[in-house]
Structure 1
Amino acid sequence: MENFRKNIGLYFGTFNPIHIGHLIIANHMVENSDLDEIWMVVTPHNPFKKKSSLLDNHHRLDMVYLATEGYDKIQPSDIEFNLPQPNYTINTLTHISEKHPNYKFNLIMGEDNLKSFHKWRNYEAILDDYNVYVYPRISEGVVENQFTEHLKIHRVAAPIVEISSTMVRNSIKNEKNIQPLLSSKVFDYIDKMNFYRK
C-alpha cells in the first residue's frame, strides 16, 4: 500500500449557489467515512454551453469560500478553472493526482449520478484508480448491477437533502425568503451583489 498523507474526497458542483444541502452532505461524508478532507471542486462554465443563469466562476468560488469558512475539513478548489474545456472528470482526477502525488483522491457523487455512471467517459478507468463515495438521493432509475457490489464504490448513509440550487435561484427571483437555505455569509453576498433577481 502506498503511503498517502491525506485521503481526500472530491465533491464536484457548479455551486450556483452553494447551499446548506451541499454543506450537510460534505460535512457528513467527511465525518462518517475514512476521508480526511472534502474538496468542493467548482465546475467552470462550459464555453460550449449556453450560459443561462450560471454566475461567473469567481463569484461561485467566492461563495464556496464564504460557506466553508470554519469547516477545517472542507476546502474550496478551483482546480478545474485552468483545464481545457469541455472537461471530463477523468481528466481532473488525473491532473489533480499528478499535482498532489502524496494525496489519495476519491470521487464523491449522489446516487442519481451513480445511476448514469456507465455513460461517463472512461468510467472504467475512474474505477480502476479511484474509490467512489456515494450519498443517497431520491431519483428515478436503477443502479446498474456492475456498481451495486463494486469494491471501489462505498455507500455512505448521509441524510437525504432535497434542496437544489435551482430552487434557491427561483425563490430569490420570486422574492421568497431563502435565508434558512444558505449560510449567512453566502446570503449576504448574494443580497449585496443582487444575484439571481432577474
Structure 2
Amino acid sequence: MAASSGLLAGCATTQDTSRLQPGGPVAREYAAMYGAIDTEPFPIPAVDLSTIDTRFLRREVAFRTTEQPGTIVVDPGARYAYLVLERGRAMRYGVGVGKEEGFNFRGSAVIARKAEWPRWTPTPNMIRREPERYGKYAGGMPGGPENPLGPRALYLYRDGQDTYYRLHGTVEPATIGTMVSSGCVRLINQDIIDLYRRVPTGTKVVVLPSGGEATS
C-alpha cells in the first residue's frame, strides 16, 4: 500500500473539490488504495469514493514545517493530518474533527499506545452530554466492525497522562472532511491502517488550532 500512496506525489498546492470520474487511471489507483481488506480479524469494506471529496484522499504533498520527520501534524481547520517526511514532503490524510471548536485537542502530545481493533469506551464528558446515546456503552464496546474507533487507534498522552484523544478509524467514511466527532481525529479505515504502520509509539503529534500555519 505504501507504493500506491504516492500516486499523486507532485506538489499538490491546489485542492480538487471534485469527485473521481469512474474508469480513469486516478480512479483505478484510488480504488486499489481504498479497496476491501480481507486479511484482518474483521472485514473492512471498500470505501465508496463517490462520497468523499478527492482532496481528502491520501497523497504525498509538499509540506513546509519546522517539525522533524516522523512527526504527525493535525490541522483541524483544513481537515488534514500530515506525517512529516524528509526533504519538505509529507503524507497527507483527510480527517474528521470535533463538531465544535471546544471539543478539539490542541498542542503537543505523544503516541503512548497503539491498538489494533481497540475497545471503545465513551469519556465521562460524552456520557454526561448525551446519556441516552452513550450511557449504555459506559462499560465499553469490544473491537469489531461496529466499533466507532475502527480497526486501529493511536492514543495521545501528554506529560504521561491520557488526554482521551485518539487518531482512529471510522465506521462513517463519508464524514471525512467534516466537523462531526467528539474531539478525536478520525481517518478512513484504510488510511489509519497505513498511518499506524508508519509510526511507532513515542511519535510526537502536534494539533494546531483552527486556522493553523500548516502549508501544503
TM over 0.5: no
Shorter-chain TM-score: which interval?
under 0.3
TM normalised by structure 1 equals 0.22
**Which protein is richer in helix relative to its size?**
1
**Which protein is richer in strand relative to its size?**
2
